[in-house]
Amino acid sequence: MKLLVIGAGAIGSVIADICAKDDAYDEILLADLKAETAEAIKKRLGSPKKITPIAMNANNVADMKKGMKGVDMTINATLPRFFLKIMQACLESGSSYLDMATDLAVMNEKPGEKITRIPIDMQTDMDQAYKDQGIAGMICWGAEPGAVNVWARYAADQMDSVDSIQVRDGDTATVEGHHALVSFWSPDTLIEEVAFMNSLVFTKGKFEREAPLTKSEEWEFPQPLGTQRVWQVDHEEIQTMGRFIGKGVKDVSFMLALSDDFVTALKVLKSIGMVNPDPIDVKGVKVVPRDVITSLMPVPTDPIFQSKIKGHGCCSVKVTGKRGGKTIQHYLWNVMAHHECWKKYGGTATAVQTGTPPAVAAIMLAKKEITKKGVYPPECLDPKPIIKRFEEFGFMTSEAKQEKV
């Protein structure tokens, strides 16, 4: 079996590392816009023989098709904005597809406007074409979305009906020597989700938009994180869980822990248009405002930067529903320490938590443990064997239940 990983970044390197150590794939192509970037990652991973660095333009279907010859599975670990072109290249090449996010920015209705379609529809529209080709389009397979979708389905399967699904992301990370704006994954994606996009919410069984950085709450995360303030941001889980889990789900929400300084900085940058993705004229030169910010932020894949990160990251989901007349709250989570992930994987907890589920899913597909064709998110599959496989690869699930009459 042959695997293609597009994007030799923090998460792509974790995926390549995990898959290179398993026997599911005989060859792994690690692609980036410049082959030198992929070559540097291969070297950092100990130069595994299975990995072949190549150059590939994720914005060019024809270029990708050349590199996809004989590829059985393609993992999109680059920016979400390329998702449709990569999916099209996979469809035309006969390669299964897997990603960790969708392009949220393709739709951004104002609060109060009617919502008739959501971004994920652009991917699920390809469901029949993927089935006809006999390939899988596995979407949203990171940690959030991804692992939390699997857990939510697992919890929902034990309930008669589901009232709400609350996805919460916590982090206590600090970076020695860095006190400015930092991100542990793509800075462009973070700024887009948190400050640029109006947050899509699923409430009372329907989709709505709310302004960014306007809603927050205190959330009690498992130790050693404890209580943190989390903020509502635009995220993929909102788009799929209410639709695919069923059982009468009324509300789905996603909130992310952000420091007060970080929120203040983004509010200021948003107020002057610096989070916008469209180019503007600056003294005769076209400049993307957001690119100015991200170019001044640390590069998440920088080993020096990653080695200085301390603290813990937590991905979690709480499902509330009813069973036998009782209200059930089922909370599931995974906690990883940034410094321990650095020592073991050469990446942050953010990269390891996000990179492990897609690597596991790709391995399960190669070994025919996942056989479903078409385009679908994780909650469309039986969660039990997936959770078992997660744990075999070091991605542990913790859980707590409460019952109320």
Answer whether 273's CB lies under 8 Å from 289's CB.
yes
Question: Is residue 79 classed exposed, middle or buried when 0-12, 13-18 and 19+ CB atoms within 10 A define those classes?
Answer: middle
What's the CA gap between 28 and 70, in Å, rounded? Answer: 11
Q: What pLDDT, on the 0 to 100 scale, is given for residue 150? A: 98
pLDDT at 111 over 90: yes
pLDDT at 302 over 90: no
Among 48-62, 180-194, 216-230, 301-315, the minimum mean pLDDT is found in 180-194
Q: Which of 10, 125, 3 is nearest to 77 (CA)?
A: 10
Query: Tokens at residue 8, please?
Result: 């030799």
**What are the extents of the domains in the chain?**
2-138, 147-349+397-404
What percentage of the chain reaches a pLDDT higher than 70? 100
Query: Tokens at residue 250, please?
Result: 């009324």
pLDDT at 189 over 90: no
pLDDT at 178 over 80: no
Q: How far is CA 175 from CA 27, 172, 181, 312, in A?
A: 36, 10, 11, 12
- The CATH code for residues 2-138 is 3.40.50.720
φ/ψ of 326, rounded to 5, equals -105, 150
Query: Tokens at residue 152, please?
Result: 């939510």
Q: What pLDDT, on the 0 to 100 scale, is given for residue 157? A: 98
What is the average per-residue pLDDT within 45-51? 95
Q: Which of 292, 284, 274, 244 is nearest to 121 (CA)?
A: 244
What is the average per-residue pLDDT within 151-180? 93
Whole-number average pLDDT of the chain: 95
Residue 384's pLDDT band, with cuts at 50, 70 and 90, is very high
pLDDT at 40 over 80: yes
Residue 118's pLDDT band, with cuts at 50, 70 and 90, is very high
Residue 80's pLDDT band, with cuts at 50, 70 and 90, is confident
Q: Which residue has the higher pLDDT, 149 or 79?
A: 149
pLDDT digits (tens, 9 = 90+) for 215-242: 999 999 999 999 999 999 999 999 999 9
- Number of Cβ atoms within 10 Å of the Cβ of 244: 18
Supply the DSSP symbol for 194. I
φ/ψ of 90, rounded to 5, equals -65, -45
Supply the DSSP symbol for 105. G
First to last CA, the chain: 52
Q: Who's near 4: CB < 8 A, 6+ residues apart?
A: 28, 29, 31, 67, 68, 71, 73, 74, 75, 95
Q: What pLDDT, on the 0 to 100 scale, is given for residue 54? A: 98
Evaluate whether 2-138 and 147-349+397-404 have a shared fold: no
pLDDT digits (tens, 9 = 90+) for 239-292: 999 999 999 999 999 999 999 999 999 999 999 999 999 999 999 999 999 999
What percentage of the chain reaches a pLDDT higher than 90? 89
Residue 301's pLDDT band, with cuts at 50, 70 and 90, is confident
pLDDT digits (tens, 9 = 90+) for 312-363: 999 999 999 999 999 999 999 999 999 999 988 888 999 999 999 999 999 9
Query: Tokens at residue 330, please?
Result: 């089922």
Residue 30's pLDDT band, with cuts at 50, 70 and 90, is very high
pLDDT at 180 over 80: no
Query: Tokens at residue 300, please?
Result: 């998440």
What's the CA gap between 318 and 320, in Å, rounded? Answer: 7
- The CATH code for residues 147-349+397-404 is 3.30.360.10
